[in-house]
Structure 1
Amino acid sequence: MLKLNIKNETSRLRAVILGTAISNGPVPSIDDCYDPKSIEHVKAGTYPKESDMVLEMEAVAQVFKKYNVEVFRPVVIKNCNQIFSRDIAFVIDDKIIRANILPDREEEVKAIQHVWNQIDPKKRIVLPEACHIEGGDVMPWNDYIFIGTYTGIDYPDFITARTNKAAVLAIQELFPNKIVKSFELRKSNTNAKENALHLDCCFQPLGKGKAIIHKNGFLVEEEYNWLINFFGKDNVFEITKDEMYNMNSNVFSISEDVVISEKNFTRLNNWLRSEGFTVEEVPYAEIAKQEGLLRCSTLPLIRD
């Protein structure tokens, strides 16, 4: 049995599901894309190649090996994009919650059944159908659970709106002892620089009380300000619109002081080092073209 334990984003990682880029399928049609950035690359003929993405994910697997992290991989489904394991489930405390994802992605959930089966059935949660939620919007942070959401009446019009109010309320009911804090995110189906697909596309807490944030990802300035006050202005690294677009907030912590980051994030990586972090740099620029990066492609199961 797997004894799940996730209290936050930064405690020492012991077990994780890392997605796979094998048999990722052909370049999607524009109608089959789930986000504006993928559409951009399909139109430009720069959509990432499977072989490049496989190598990028292998680099991450090697970092996990270096730190003795147990790594599970999804079963490979032919011609299916299974990179973003964070979308399909997430762990809070000792419970795994199955994400209610876009119906087309049901297959991806079956591909981690071998992990799901190792978890105490009482700890496996499937939310009611009316609750839309994806793991990229959910961040356990000790006494808090931060959740990215969108509650505009035009919610159904946005393929980029993935987490609704019903899900936020359901999470609060599941974890009555936690403070659930939701944040309204800016959504766009057409402009990737004006779209925060998930909370982790514009914000991420780090070890040592630090955080990465992009102001324009938040629709409500008070909610952005709340985070700045919570972490303290001097502890927050503000990223630009272009850095958000390139997914600078979507790094992944192995521990309080070790962060996996994309090798081209020069400004961020220099800042991390100046703050005393060990930065494990990997190539991930091809995967980033699908509006997801390191946090999106990992599903932590156990942290100390």
Structure 2
Amino acid sequence: MKEALLFDKLKDSDVVLCRMCAHRCRIPDGERGKCAVRENRGGTLYCLLYGRLCASHIDPIEKKPLFHFLPGSYSLSIASAGCNFTCLHCQNASISQYPQQFSEIEGDEVSPAHVVQGAIRGGCKSISYTYTEPTIYMEYALDCAIMAREKGIENVFVSNGYMTAESAGLIIPYLDANNIDLKGDDEFYKTVCGGRVKPVKDTIILMKGRGVWVEVTTLIIPGLNDSDAILREIAGFIRSVDYSIPWHVTSFRPTYKILDRSATPADTLRRAYRIGIEAGLKYVYEGNVPGSHGENTYCPSCKELLIERYGFTIRRNIIKEGKCPECAGTIDGVWQ
């Protein structure tokens, strides 16, 4: 437990206003915010999961997914339980929704120093704050990120983007890359996720504008966010921010509370891919379909195959110093 960052005690009451995520919860004394891991105790807000890890694994960076950030490298992936969303299709619901369901804070106590040393011992070039939403354990993620930066380790968020400008401002000086979900339109966010789309878009704009390498992922669920109109809106928004932002359109599998939908057809991913390209995006990827050419990176100028992938494995990478060896065109990303 640690006193939280970014909260205000409201005048003449024991209610606090949490400013860590875009819900901006008003939390009465003795209660918790929507994430269920921030609790008001006598007018002071506490983060209940500081230093408590529910997951720690070494992953390929491609699993985040990040395709233009240190490809072929490994990342120490860590997570604490909880989330500020209640997505009906969450593939990690057993840990993301645990505090909401049981009011307990589970996890092994691991100091930031041990996290960083684990990354060094594992030969990892980065630490990824992933599996659940890192914003809810920002105090811990921030301490880890500061230490990692001192040791030459990169920092990566895999985030739903439901932040405030204040919380994004805390981590941006130490954050190197962020894969942000842009899940659908506002109706999708309200009915499926328990949020709104605008704060997510604001975070994407802010992160990209402040120099963080950003990639965007959309998990496509048949009948919920797979219409041409929704996909064009997402692609158009990404294009309006920066057409060099890679867009990952990935395949859904029935899970958690959405079991009445089929897996995403390959044709739907191909359609989303075409929509992204037609919108003017330079890099669009089809995810969760190993063996698809939609996993590969091609030069936007001459169409040379630059990075050949199979799942999370790189079979070939001929990018040299961020350039296409065939036409010398710049390939956007962080390559070394």
- Alignment TM-score, normalising by the size of structure 2: 0.31
Asked which structure has the greater CA Rg, the reply is 2
More relative contact order in 1 or in 2 (CA 8 Å, sep 6+)?
A: 1
